[in-house]
Every structure is written in structure tokens, then in C-alpha cells.
Amino acid sequence: MNNLFSSGIRFSFLFGFILNKLNINETGLSGAGDNYHYNFALGIFILSLICLLSFINVVGYLTAIKFIIKYNIESKYPKFKFIINYFEKCSEISIIIEVIICLLFLIFIVIFSLLEINKF
């Protein structure tokens, strides 16, 4: 475990990992002018990435709930019934939040793209 930290590997969520691997140049984000289209494309990319990860989370939650129902895990493992019920209720709330985030960012992408198109 100590070798992982000394080798420079960091533990983070998938979003942070993807952004870290892109190696974005900080000087490109400094101002407007020539870098405006780069900044705009980067912003659209980040919003799209958030939408994609939200969609993947929703699919994962729905798949887990489907497998819980399909394989009747509650009756096979009665000790875990409380945890399974808690997961199902939390998953419903998480799905609603993820769908709202995804739709909101998709609306932002459409609006910002339309504003950029009308600029020319």
C-alpha cells in the first residue's frame, strides 16, 4: 500500500481520473482571444463527460435493482434485507438526482452551443 502512494498514483473518482489523464495545459485556460474556442470546447467536453457519467450511474443503479428483484436476493439472504431495502430506497433518490443533473447539463450544452452558433 505504501508503494502506491510513493509511486504518485492517486485514488479519485472516475471524473477526476479522466481529467487527470487529459493533461490539460493551464496556460490555455488563461484568457480569451485565441484560446476562446479551446475553452469553449473544453467546457462542452466537461459537461458532456458529466452527462455520460450520470447516465452510466443510472444504468448501474437500475441494473443492480433489476438483479436484486430477478434473483430474489432478499429472500435468499434475510440478514441483508435491511441493507438491500436501504440500497433500493437510496438508489431511487440517486437516480432522480442523476437524471436531473444529466438533463440540466444537456440543456446547458444545447443553450451554450446555440449561443456560440449565433455569435458567428
The domain locations on the chain are: 14-119
* Degrees to nearest 5, angle at CA 70 with 98 and 59: 20
Q: pTM to 2 decimals?
A: 0.72
Q: What is the pLDDT of residues 94-116, one digit of tens each?
A: 999 999 999 999 999 999 888 88
Cβ contacts of residue 73 below 8 Å, gap of 6+? 67, 80, 84
According to the model, what pLDDT value does residue 100 have?
Answer: 94
| Averaged confidence pLDDT in the chain | 80
Distance separating alpha carbons of residues 92 and 60, to the nearest angstrom: 12
- Residue for grid cell 469553449: 40
Nearest-angstrom CA–CA distance, 57 and 98? 7
